[in-house]
A and B are shown apart, each in its own frame.
Chain A
Amino acid sequence: MRLKYVLSEVMVGLWRNVTMTIAMIITMAVSLTMLGASGLMYLQVEAMKDAYYKDIEVSMFLDASVTDEQRAQLQTELESDPLVRKVKHETKEEAYERFKELFADSPDLVNAVQADKLPESFRINLVNPEQYQLIFDKYKDREGIDDIIDQRRLLEQIFNILGAIQNMALIAASVMAVAALLLVANTIQVAAYSKRREVAVMKLVGASNWFVQAPFVLEAVVAGLLGAIFGFGALVLGKIFLLDGSLRDLTDLLTPVRWGTVLLMLPFMATVGSVVSAITAWVTLRFYVRV
């Protein structure tokens, strides 16, 4: 009986003020979409780090004029270096093969580059990928070395861009969240005002506090959950039309976003949406309306 009473009160409450309810759900949905997107981005960057950092290399490119002696000397030194886990020499021919493979889509580019124009290099896996600087300082002045490049640096630039997008999404999410919470607070105040007679009688006859407040709080929670569901729908559409659609090439280049990860956002958004709404409603009731 009690549950039925509370639920029917919630539905009546949401319906009584339906334009406000819709505004509340829309802002909530947009905010949660942003939040979900940035959560997705975070998980994605983590996944990419795992995937790439594992076989990240430091490339030591050799001068075109490097002598056999210098090369052999470098190789023995690198092989016995405690910082180095694994070292592999890549000849000009191998570099060209890799280049052809990498740019198979652009035959013009491949044709324009001659096999012996690409530099030979040592591909070095570090024991600890963070220690690039030590390797760099140790070898930078040696004869026969053209440049030492940390692939990690390149990846980090990509991660920085993704991180910046993630931050923008988070900022947008928080701005929208403020709007959503103000709407929740307003809706609760309106609801409490329109039910002030009932509330007065309930308090008079000794209804428990939770019984008086539950319909209002649940009203906000239902709106928060609906917002999360719509926001999740937006993420699914984004996955279908953006990630798997127009941005396909980009997402293939980076690691693809899996459905499992997208699905993970639903409980996350639903929890944030409902908990935050509930707290807002409760605080509103406590401080702005005497229920």
Chain B
Amino acid sequence: MIQLEHVTKTYPKASRPSLDNVSVSIEKGEFVFFIGPSGSGKSTIIKLLLHEITPNKGRVIVNNKDVTSMRSWKIPAFRRTIGCVFQDFRLLPNRTAYENVAFALEVIGKSKAVARRVVPEVLELVGLGGKEHRYPHELSGGEQQRVAVARAFVNRPLILLADEPTGNLDPDTSIEIMRLLDRINRTGTTVVMVTHDSNIVNQMRRRVIEIESGRIVRDQARGVYG
């Protein structure tokens, strides 16, 4: 599903690489945590998988497609197969929960009729039934993140990337969001989550890949934060 082959990424002006000769293979349906201290390079992985940046060396293969050599006009279609959730939610403040999710459908050319059918379903799935018409500022942090998860999942992506999705949430809310990601994972979606929330990692007992200074120092099938 996802392969990094000897990937090195050095940002311009950086003294040392963010990722240094990293190789990882993630199978379909896996749930993987990338952990490590700030600046260890774990968020760089998400950016590589989204083709926001390209590696200096090595190959990134997602969904059997070599992202590294992908033509720029093919990137939009590629991103439709990936859902993405961030620490800061990235919702549009002037749109309701429903509209935020529908927007993601509309801009890839789905009709309003499709949105009317699919959006309430996915909002129900993330536990926001009845709150469709609230604006982000009328929702709690956890609820906002649920909207973001709904938006990421509405296209039924093969992969869900989550970049510190619980970073702005209190522990109880974090656990609810994790239950949600777990449920999405059980539908067959591969979930890749970057975090430094040790509680969550310890509770979930999933594959843990630890990165330090751009290198993988641990890859454990049912790991803890350590």
Contact = CB atoms under 8 A, between A and B. Distances in A.
A202 interface: yes
A197 B106 CA distance: 16
Interface in B161-213: none
B139 interface: no
B92 A209 contact: no
B59 interface: no
B151 A205 contact: yes
A2 B111 CA distance: 9
B92 A206 contact: no
A37 B199 CA distance: 74
A198 interface: yes
Nearest to B92: A197
B90 A200 contact: yes
B155 A205 contact: yes
Contacts of B72: 209
B108 A207 contact: yes
A290 to B, nearest CB: 10
Interface in A177-204: 197-198, 200-204
Interface in A206-260: 206-209, 211-212
- Could you say which of A202, A203, A204 has the most chain B C-beta atoms within 10 Å of its C-beta? A204
B170 to A, nearest CB: 25
A10 to B, nearest CB: 15
Contacts of A211: 107-109
B80 interface: yes
Contacts of B76: 203, 206-209
A207 B107 contact: yes
Nearest to B84: A204
A211 B103 CA distance: 13
- Could you say which of B92, B103, B107 has the most chain A C-beta atoms within 10 Å of its C-beta? B107
Interface in B100-154: 103-104, 106-109, 111-112, 151
B114 to A, nearest CB: 10
B77 interface: yes
A202 B151 CA distance: 11
A225 B92 CA distance: 31
- Interface bin, chain B: 20 to 34
Interface string B36-73: 00000000000000100000000000000000000011
Interface in A118-137: none
Given A1-B111, A5-B106, A201-B103, A206 B77 contact: yes
B79 A201 contact: no
- Could you say which of B73, B103, B112 has the most chain A C-beta atoms within 10 Å of its C-beta? B103
A5 to B, nearest CB: 7
Contacts of A201: 90, 92, 103-104, 107, 151
Contacts of B103: 198, 201
Contact of B90 (A1, A204, A207, A208): A204
B84 A206 contact: no
B104 A205 contact: yes
A275 B35 CA distance: 51
Nearest to B83: A205
Interface string B85-104: 00000101100000000011
B92 A198 contact: yes
Interface in A1-54: 1-2, 5
A197 B108 CA distance: 16
Contacts of B151: 201, 205
Contact of A1 (B84, B93, B112, B155): B112
Nearest to A208: B76
B163 to A, nearest CB: 11
Contacts of A207: 76, 107-108
Nearest to B86: A204
A191 to B, nearest CB: 16
B90 A202 contact: no
Given A201-B92, A201-B104, A206 B112 contact: no
Contacts of A208: 76-77, 108-109
- Could you say which of A201, A202, A205 has the most chain B C-beta atoms within 10 Å of its C-beta? A205
B80 A2 contact: no
Contacts of B108: 205-208, 211
A206 B111 CA distance: 16
Interface of B: 50, 72-73, 75-80, 82, 84, 90, 92-93, 103-104, 106-109, 111-112, 151, 155
Given A1-B111, A206-B80, 16 more contacts: A1-B112, A5-B106, A197-B92, A197-B93, A198-B103, A201-B151, A203-B79, A204-B90, A205-B104, A205-B107, A207-B76, A208-B109, A209-B73, A209-B76, A211-B108, A212-B107
Query: Which 4 interchain pairs have the tightest Cβ spacing?
Result: A206-B79, A206-B80, A207-B107, A205-B104
